[in-house]
Amino acid sequence: MATENKNRATAAAILPLVGGAANVASIAHCMTRLRLGLHDRSLVDDEALKALPAVMGVVEDDTYQIVLGPGTVARVTPEFEQLVEEEREAAPAPVAVSAVSADELAAQGAAIKAQQKAKNATPFKLFLRKIANIFVPLIPALIGCGIIAGLNGLLVNLQWLPAVTPALAAMASGFMALIAVFVGYNTAKEFGGTPILGGAVAAIIVFPGVANIDAFGQTLSPGQGGVLGALGAAVLAVYVEKWCRRWVPEALDVLVTPTLTVLISGLVTIFGLMFVAGEISSAIGTFADWLLSNGGAGAGFVLGGLFLPLVMLGLHQALIPIHTTLIEQQGYTVLLPILAMAGAGQVGAAMAVYFRLPRNESIRRTIKSALPAGLLGVGEPLIYGVSLPLGRPFITACVGGAFGGGFVGLFNQLGDTVGSTAIGPSGWALFPLLDGNHGLGSTIAIYAGGLLVGYVAGFLATYFFGFSKDLLTEFNVSQEPAPSTIAATGGTTSSTKPGPHGGPDAPDPGTDPAKAPAGV
């Protein structure tokens, strides 16, 4: 009951600060964020929101995103939805306003919304956003099934509960056996088609009967093409459906459109997409294995060092289908444990900032409040409240991630594969999802070693190279620095605003920085 009251109190504190129920157009949440569609962005009180104890930060995008952290957001969102509904039901009838006032208000809201969207409205980033929207809803199931798979593997190795392990295997594998259907459903939904038709076409890929079909001189295999084939099949189904809607008479639409959509898309999928997507999927797996087997240390160094900048640019979303393909093929993705080292470098950098600025209680307070989330793989509070506003510590955090990634990559090169059975978590939260080819103990030890290397490298790089003399002089004071200070000392210059919990100035993340799955 106390927890429920706490979650409701958090929701009640957030609602008036986003303009009340009348200003909320849509409500959703991902692993760490409450995502709100708002009618008028100018009604939001950013500073008051960031000052709330439960709020780790806010992010601008096509939706207004309030970072609450894993677990918390799933409990606060239903309370928030209920409060919005209650406030709308209790609201009095709207008071009429003059046409001029309404037009002016609408123009103001539209201008603000357009300004925010323009920063991330490049065609490539919009496409990546759609891809992320297809796969992100699948993450909870991937995590749950991944943890069950790990538990089952442990019980099998220990030869415990032999009567239970087959049931656990079924629970862990059932979702993965049908993941193509879920991808097809979400793809059609995201691209503007009928979701169930996208799922129906994608289901062809996993249907056992395709083993009786010959295409390109070879017999198809159930699941051939995997999630990439399902993605392509569902996109094709959307375009076929839209074509049918334009040309099929309304009286026949309910019969003809679904039939033609499944028929045309299904034939192309069976006699084309499954083969092509299967070749691409195999190439992805082969290349990932080759990369880490032959250049693991170097590849890990580059991947671990560049992941935070990729997140800042929104380009990390391109990796989501690759992770999912590797999990589908091999049972785990070897890339995620390496990329997770970026978060370790971020934690190490934040700890160095804490010790280098002993007089700046504002920044130290931000670090203390955000560090537990950072250890669990939620990096946004440390990034936007500490390292990025200061400038150099963001770069040295990337250095820490590079060394951690190089450590994990080196062991992959030596034959000790370290992978994750699901995407989403990182940091310490990734331990229950680890898997590899040399036993769980070895896998955990390598990953833990990578985290330690990332922490230490990020700390040392930041402590010794993260501050210029001017930057250290300006920030190692008891009062909060002004935004102009950051610009004058080589940090972020424009579009700055106070960080979460009264911390330092954080940039307006105009490059869609927080689309990542929960861990960076």
Classified as helix, coil or strand, 269 is helix
The answer to whether the CB of 340 falls within 8 A of the CB of 300 is no
30 catalytic residue (yes or no): yes
- Find out whether 381 and 370 touch, Cβ atoms under 8 Å: yes
Helices (H), 376-439: 380-382, 388-390, 392-413
The answer to whether 398 and 305 are in contact (CB under 8 A) is yes
Residues 76 and 68: their CA atoms lie apart, in Å, by 9
Active-site residue, selected from the candidate residues 30, 145, 244, 398: 30
Count CB neighbours of 402 within 10 A: 26
Q: What distance in Å separates the CA atoms of residue 495 and residue 115, rounded to the nearest whole number?
A: 12
What tokens appear for 301 in the block? 């160094």
Q: Which amino acid is at 262?
A: V
Q: Is 516 exposed, middle or buried (0-12, 13-18, 19+ CB in 10 A)?
A: buried
3-state helix, strand, coil in the chain (%, to 5): 70, 5, 25
Interatomic CA distance for residues 253 and 250, integer angstroms: 5
Residues 6+ apart with CB under 8 A from 88: 21, 22
Q: Which residues pair with 33 in a beta bridge?
A: 67
Q: Which of 67, 58, 55 is nearest to 10 (CA)?
A: 55
Residues annotated as catalytic (active site), given as ranges = 30
